Amino acid sequence: MNTTTQDTDATLDPVSHDDHHHDGPPKGIMRWILTTNHKDIGTLYLWFSFIMFLIGGAMALVIRAELFQPGLQLVDPNFFNQMTTVHGLIMVFGAVMPAFTGLANWMIPLMIGAPDMALPRMNNWSFWILPFAFFILLSSLFMEGGGPNFGWTFYAPLSTTYGPDSTALFVFSVHIMGISSIMGAINVIVTIVNMRAPGMTWMKLPLFVWTWLITAFLLIMVMPVLAGVVTMVLTDKYFATSFFDAAGGGDPVMFQHIFWFFGHPEVYIMILPSFGIVSSIVPAFSRKKLFGYSSMVYATASIAILSFLVWAHHMFTTGMPLAGELFFMYCTMLIAVPTGVKIFNWVATMWRGALTFETPMLFSLAFIILFTIGGFSGLMLAITPADFQYHDTYFVVAHFHYVLVSGAVFSIMAAAYYWLPKWTGHMYNDTLSKWHFWCSLISVNVLFFPMHFVGLAGMPRRIPDYALQFADINQIVSIGGFAFGLSQLLFLAVVIKCIRGGEAAEAKPWEGAEGLEWEVPSPAPYHTFSTPPEVK
Amino acid sequence: MKHWLYLLVGIFSPTLAASELPLNMTQGVTEISNQVYDLHMTILLICCVIGLIVFGLMFYSMLNHRKSKGAVPAQFHESTKVEIIWTLIPFLILVGMAVPATSTLIAMEDTSDADITVMVTGSQWKWHYKYFNEEIEFFSILSTPRDQIDNKAPKDANYLLEVDKPLVLPINKKVRFLVTSEDVIHSWWVPAFAVKKDANPGFINEAWTKIDKPGTYRGQCAELCGKDHGFMPIVVEAMPEAEFDAWIAGQKQAATEAAAQAEASLSQTLTMDELMAQGEQVYMARCAACHQPNGAGLPGVFPGLLKSPIIQGPVGDHLDIVINGKPGTAMQAFAKQLTAQEIAAVVTYERNAWGNDTGDVVQAADVSNFEK
Ligand code: HEM
Ligand SMILES: [Cu+2]
Ligand SMILES: [Cu+2]
C-alpha cells in the first residue's frame, strides 16, 4: 500500500468525502501489519496499551491478593518481587506511554489538519517492535530463576551482581521500548513542526498538540539516558565492568542519579499529554474557552524544563550532601507552582460556564481533583526532612498512583470517551459508561487513599508480608484493588459495544467541542485532510 | 438522608476508635522526629486548606454553573492580573514552607560531637551492629518463627518486627550511625527517630539520633534488597545510661566467655547426632532463606544443596565456600558470622541431611585448621 500516491491523486474535501474504492483500508491481517495509516497505527497502539493494562492489572491483583492478609499465602517472596517489577514496567512502558502515543497518532494529524504523520513507515516500525519487547519481558518470567525481580527502578547492584539470569532479556526489552519511544517522538515533532495546516500558527495549536510536542522533546532527551543506564547494567553484569560496583571503582548511587535523570522527566512524559487532554475536554463541556491558553503553554514548558532539575528528590536518603538536598528540595517545590497554575486555569475555565456532565467530562473532573491530591502528596514528599519518613513507604505508592492512575489513566479514559464517536462513528452506551465512571471513581479511592495511612504509619513498599497493625487497611486496599480491576472490564464492554454499533455519531457530537477533528465526518474517513484545511 | 449519615457515623466511629488504627506519622521520641512531625502536619494542613478552597470552588461551579440550570457561559478567558496572583501566592506559601524545612534539615545533617558511634551494616537479610571503642559487635536477625509466616501458628503482637538481638542504645546521648552494606543497597529506618539512611555497598553514610525516652523502637529495611527484604526488621532498645553501661559490661563478659568456649570447642569432639542437631538449627536460621529449608534452593537463583558436587566432593571445598563465601554472588563469607563450632555443625548437617548421606563428620578443629 502506498499512501503518498493515493494522497496526491485524490483532492478530496474531507467533509463530502465519499467511499472511493482505493481509499478504504485493505482487508485482513496484512492491513494491520503493513499499515502506515496514522489512524490504524493509533488503533493498534490503543488496543496494545489496553491489553497491557489488563496484563499489568492482573499482576497487581496477584500483589493485592497476597497482601490481603498478613502471612505468606499465595506466592513466594521472589515471585512477589517479580510481580511488582513487571507490573511497574508494564504499566509505565506498556500501558500509559503507548496509550498516549496511540492518541497522538490518531489525533495530532486530525487536530493540525495534516493528512498523516510525517514519517508513516517509521510509525509502523515504532509500533510493531513493541509487542516483541513485551513478549521478551513477559517470557523472561518463565525462565529458570524467574524474570526481573529488582523493582521497575532496577537499582544496582541488586540488578547487576545479584540479578537473575534473565536480566539480559530485561535489558534487551527496555532497549526496544526505548527505540520505539524515540521513533514515536521524532515522528510527533516532525509532524507538528512541518505539517500544520496553513493558518495553524503556534499559538493556535490545540493544547493536546502543544503538550505532546513538549513531551516528545522530553522523550528524545531522556530515553537515550535510559538506554545508557540499562547498557551499563548489562556490561556490569555480564562483561565485568564496574560502573556501579565500588570494588572496581564504581558507585551504586551513580546508577540512581542516571536512572532518575531519566526517571523524573519520565513521570512528566506520563502526565503532560493528560494536561492536554483535560484542557480540550473541560472547555468543551463548559462551553467556554480555555482560561489562560498562553499561560498553559508556558506552564507546560516550565514544568518540562524544571523536570530536569529535580531528579535527586527520589534519592534524599542516599546520603547526599546538605547543599544537594537543599537544591533539590527547592527545585521540587518550585515545580508545584506551574502545576498549580494549570489547576487554577481549569477551575477558572469551568467558572461561570454552562456545564454538562457527559462521561469524558466526569473523568476529566475526577482527574483534576485526584491529580491535585497526588500533587499535594508530591509537595509533601518534596520537603526533605519529611521525605525521610515518607520515602519508600506506601505513602509514595499512594502518591504516584494518584498521579498515574487517577491522573494519567483517568485522562486516557476521558480521551477515549471523548473521541470514541470520532473513531467508531457511534455514540458509546451512556449508561454503561456512567457505571464505569462511578465504579472506577469509588474503587480507585478505596484502593489508593488508605495507602497514605499505612505509609505514614510505617509500612515500607515492596514487601510481601507485613506487621499486624497494617492488616485492616491492607484488607480495604485489596478490596478496592479488585473492585477497580473488575470495573475496567466495563470499559472493555463499552468500547466493544461502541465499535459494533450504537447511535450514529454526528461529525461534532459534543455541543461545545472545538477543533479541526470535529470537521471531518464520524467515523473519520481512512484518509483525511488530503487537501489542507484553511485555519482562520 | 440524615438517618443515613447517622448510621454511617455510628458504624465507623466506634470501630475506628476501638481499633486504634495507625493512621498518621509517628511523633517519635527525639527532638528531630518531633520537628519532622510538625513539618508534616503543617504542610498537610496547608494542602488541606488549599484543597478545600480549590475543590470548593470547583464544586460550587459544578452545582451552580450547570447548563441544566440555565447557565449561560461567560466570555472571559484571560486575566494577566489573576494569573500573576495565583502564581505568586503559592510561591510565597512555598517559601514559607521552605524556611522551617531548611532549618530542620540542617540540624538533621549535623553529625558532629557524637557521644557514641555505632556502625550499622546491612547484608542479605540481617543487620550487623558494631559499637566503636567497645569491641562489641553482633548480628540482629528476624526472630519471628517460620510457622507464623506460613500461617501455621498464630502470629504474635510484634510479628515481623522482632529480632534475636536488638540494638541497645543509651537515652539522652548523641548517637552517630555509620551505615553501610556488604552486598546490595539496604536502608536503615527507625520511624521513632526519623532516621532513614541507605546502606550503600562500598560507601559509608552518616546519621544521628538522640533519644528522649527509654523504650523499644521498631523499624524495617526500607530499600528493596532482594527476596527477604520484608523480613529484616530493626529493633532498638533505648535505656538510661547506667543500665546501658551495665549492658555493655555484660556484653563484654559474654564475649570473653564465648571466646573461651570457642577455644574449648576446638578440642572437643562431638557426635554426629549432636552436630546434626546444632547444624539444623544454624541452617534454618542462617542458610534456609536462600537454600530453602529442604535444601532444594530456588532454581536459577540460589543453588540447591541436594547431590551438589561441592557437597558430595571433598570437605575442603565445602568449608571453603562456607567460610570464604563466593565474591560477586549472594553467598556470603560466614567466617565472621558463625563460630568454628557452628560452621562445623552446619557443614556436617548439609553433608548428611536430605539424603546427602556422605557420612562425613566435621569438627570445630577442622574448621579452624582450614581457616589457617
Ligand atoms: C506537584 C508535582 C509533584 C511533586 C512535587 C512530586 C514529588 C515527588 C517526590 C519527592 C517523589 C519521591 C518520593 C520518594 O521516593 O521518597 C515522587 C515520587 C514519584 N512520583 Fe511524583 N511528584 C509530582 C508529580 C508527579 C507526577 C505528575 C507523576 C506522574 C504522572 C509522578 C510520579 C511519581 C512516581 C512514579 C514516583 C515514584 C517512583 C518510584 O520510586 O518508583 N509525580 N514524586
Ligand atoms: Cu520525581
Ligand atoms: Cu531491604
pLDDT band at residue B20, thresholds of 50, 70 and 90? low
Q: Spell out the CATH class of B267-371.
A: mainly alpha
Q: Is A399 a catalytic residue?
A: no
Distance CA B136, CA B238 (A): 17
pLDDT, one tens digit per residue, over A230-257 is: 999 999 999 999 999 998 899 999 999 9
Q: Is the pLDDT of residue A173 over 90?
A: yes
Contacts of B221 in chain A (CB under 8 A): 460
Cα–Cα–Cα angle for B280, B285, B290, nearest 5°?
A: 100
Q: Which of A38, A39, A64, A87 is catalytic?
A: A87
- Closest chain B CA to residue A285: B67
Q: Where are the alpha helices (DSSP H) in A195-271?
A: 207-238, 252-269
Residue A481 forms part of a structural domain: yes
Residues from chain A that touch B43, judged by Cβ atoms under 8 A, are 379-380, 383, 386
Q: Are B248 and B136 in contact (CB under 8 A)?
A: yes
A498 CB neighbour count, 10 Å cutoff: 24
Task: Please say if the pLDDT value at position A11 is more than 70.
Answer: no
Q: Name the H helices within chain B.
A: 2-19, 31-64, 80-108, 146-149, 241-265, 272-282, 288-291, 309-312, 315-324, 340-352, 364-371
State in Å: Cα A341 to ligand 1 middle: 18
Q: Which three cell numbers stand for residue A168?
A: 539480559
Mean predicted lDDT score pLDDT of chain A = 93
Nearest to B101 among A146, A158, A385 (CB): A385
Three-state secondary structure call for residue A121:
helix
pLDDT at B86 over 50: yes
User: What are A403-447's pLDDT values in tens digits?
Assistant: 999 999 999 999 999 999 999 999 999 999 999 999 999 999 999
pLDDT value at B5 more than 70: no
* Full DSSP string of B43-62: HHHHHHHHHHHHHHHHHHHH
Give the CATH number for residue A487: 1.20.210.10
Mapping DSSP to helix (H, G, I), strand (E, B) and coil, where does residue A9 land?
A: helix
Rg (CA), chain B: 29
> With an 8 Å Cβ cutoff, are A326 and B105 in contact?
yes
- Averaged pLDDT for residues B300-325: 87
Dump pLDDT digits (tens) for A438-472: 999 999 999 999 999 999 999 999 999 999 999 99
- Tell which wins on pLDDT, B327 or B344: B344
Higher pLDDT, B86 or B372: B86
Nearest to A354 among B55, B65, B225 (CB): B65
Given ligand 1 and candidates A314, A344, A388, which is best to mutate, with the most ligand atoms within 8 Å of its CB?
Answer: A314
pTM of this prediction exceeds 0.90: yes
Over residues B129-180, the pLDDT tens digits come to 999 888 899 999 999 998 999 999 999 999 999 999 999 999 999 999 999 9
Which of the residues B29, B45, B63, B65 would you substitute to probe the A interface, choosing the one with the greatest number of A C-beta atoms within 10 Å?
A: B65
Q: Predicted confidence band at A7 (pLDDT cuts at 50, 70, 90)?
A: very low
Chain B residues in contact with A241 by the CB 8 A cut-off are none
Mean pLDDT, residues A83-91 = 96
Residue A4 placed within a domain: no
Q: Which residues of chain B does A383 touch, with a Cβ-Cβ cutoff of 8 Å? A: 39-40, 43, 97, 101
Report which residue type is found at B293. P
Whether the per-residue pLDDT at B102 is higher than 70: the answer is yes
**DSSP codes, B153-171:** S---TTTTS-BSS-EEEET
Residue of A87, A384, A394, A466 to mutate, testing the B interface (most B Cβ within 10 Å of its Cβ): A384
Least reliable range by pLDDT among A35-49, A328-342, B309-323 = B309-323
- A358/chain B closest Cα distance in angstroms: 12
Please state, in angstroms and rounded to a whole number, the distance separating the CA atoms of residues A182 and A163.
27
**A16 CA to chain B: closest CA distance, Å?**
32
Is residue A182 in a domain? Answer: yes
Q: In what order do the strands lie in the sheet with B233-239?
A: B167-170, B233-239, B215-221, B186-190, B195-199
Task: Mark whether A260 is an active-site residue.
Answer: no
Looking at chain B, the whole-number percentage of residues with pLDDT higher than 70 is 94
Q: Which ligand is nearest to the CA of A269?
A: 1
Q: Is A116 a catalytic residue?
A: yes
Task: Respond yes or no: is residue A204 known to be catalytic.
Answer: no
Q: Is A266 part of any domain?
A: yes
Residue range B116-261, CATH number: 2.60.40.420
Place of cell 552486598: B183
Query: Which residue ranges have their beta carbon within 6 Å of ligand 1?
Result: A 153, 267, 270-271, 313-314, 332, 335-336, 339, 375, 378-379, 381-382, 387, 390-391, 396, 399-400, 403-404, 407-408
Cell numbers 541452617 correspond to B283
The per-residue pLDDT for B2 is: 43
Which three three-digit cell numbers place residue B331?
553467598
Q: Under the phi-then-psi rule, with left for phi > 0, alpha for psi from -120 to 50, and beta for the rest, what region is B340?
A: alpha
Once rounded to an integer, what is the mean pLDDT over residues A276-293? 95
- Band (pLDDT 50/70/90 cuts) for residue B313 is confident
Owning domain of residue A394: 10-15+33-519
At B89, list the grid cell. 501566592
Q: Which strands, in side-by-side order, build the sheet including B205-209? A: B136-140, B126-131, B116-123, B175-181, B205-209
Position A20 in a domain: no
Say if residue A491's pLDDT is above 50. Answer: yes
Residue A484 identity (one-letter amino acid): F
Specify if A28 maps to a domain.
no
Angle at B274 between CA B268 and CA B277, to 5 degrees: 140
Compute chain A's Rg from CA coordinates.
23
Contact yes or no for B322/B362 (Cβ under 8 A): no
Residue B165, C-alpha cell as written in the block? 538481638
The percentage of chain B sitting over the pLDDT mark of 90, rounded to a whole number, equals 60
- Domain residue limits, chain B: 2-63+79-108, 116-261, 267-371
pLDDT tens per residue across span B241-285:
999 999 999 999 998 898 888 888 888 888 888 889 999 999 988
Q: Say if residues A371 and A402 touch (Cβ distance below 8 Å).
A: yes
Residue A530 lies in a domain: no
How many Å lie between the centroid of ligand 1 and the Cα of residue B45?
20
In this prediction, residue A23 has a pLDDT band, given cuts at 50, 70 and 90, of low
Residue of A nearest to B228 (CA): A77
Nearest to B40 among A251, A386, A467 (CB): A386
Query: What is the CA B357 to chain-centroid distance, rounded?
Result: 38
Instruction: Mean pLDDT check: name the lowest of A19-23, A164-168, A209-213, B65-69.
Output: A19-23
CA distance B348 to B278: 10
Nearest CA in chain B to A393: B222
Ligand 2 center to residue B41 CA distance, Å?
22
Distance of CA A442 to the CA centre of its chain: 21
CA distances from A70 to A79, A370, B148, B228, B284 (A): 17, 29, 10, 15, 22
Signed CA dihedral, A175, A258, A317, B328: sign only: positive
- How many domains, in total, are found in chain A? 1
Note the Cα A112 to chain centre separation in Å: 22
Give the ipTM: 0.91
For residue A237, the chain B residue with the least C-alpha distance is B328
Residue A319 lies in a domain: yes
Q: Which of residues 96-125 of B touch A (CB under 8 A)?
A: 97-98, 101-102, 104-106, 108-109
Confidence class for position A22, pLDDT limits 50, 70, 90: low
Amino acid B370: pLDDT: 82
Mean pLDDT estimate for chain B: 89
Core vs surface per residue A416-443: b (16+ CB within 10 A) or e = bbbbbbbbbbbbbbeebbbbbbebbbeb
What is the mean predicted confidence (pLDDT) over A183-207? Answer: 95
Among the listed ranges A147-151, B29-33, B41-45, B295-299, which one has the minimum average pLDDT value?
A: B295-299
Q: How confident is the model at residue B197 (pLDDT cuts 50, 70, 90)?
A: very high
